[in-house]
Amino acid sequence: FAGAPYRVGFNGDINSLSAFLSYPRNIVFDNSRNEIIFCDFSNNRVRRISFATNQILTVIGNGQAFNPTDNVFGNRTQLNLP
């Protein structure tokens, strides 16, 4: 359903079958929104996949591995191995 076979890394918010992931974990199914939400662990991001569009989007994290800072939201904040 997600992740390009044998590819690790990050290549943007694109079709989920073409997306590169790095140790996805903590997967949650949101039935009310028809989405999967998960931690893209080594990419320092929280991402979601829409069942309706099959697109993968970054919800939180800019890919930099630092502790989150105050007053920075969404994909501009920094996460450290979520």
pLDDT at 72: 65
State mean pLDDT over 68-73: 65
Per-residue pLDDT tens over the stretch 16-38: 889 999 999 999 999 999 999 99
Per-residue pLDDT tens over the stretch 35-64: 999 999 999 999 999 999 999 999 988 888
- Local structure of 9: helix, strand or coil: coil
Sign of CA dihedral 60, 64, 66, 70: negative
Quick one: DSSP state of residue 17?
T
pLDDT at 21: 92
Beta strands at 24-30 and 35-40: parallel, antiparallel or unpaired:
antiparallel
Alpha helices in the chain, H assignment, sequence order: none
Contacts (Cβ under 8 Å, ≥6 apart) of 12 = 19
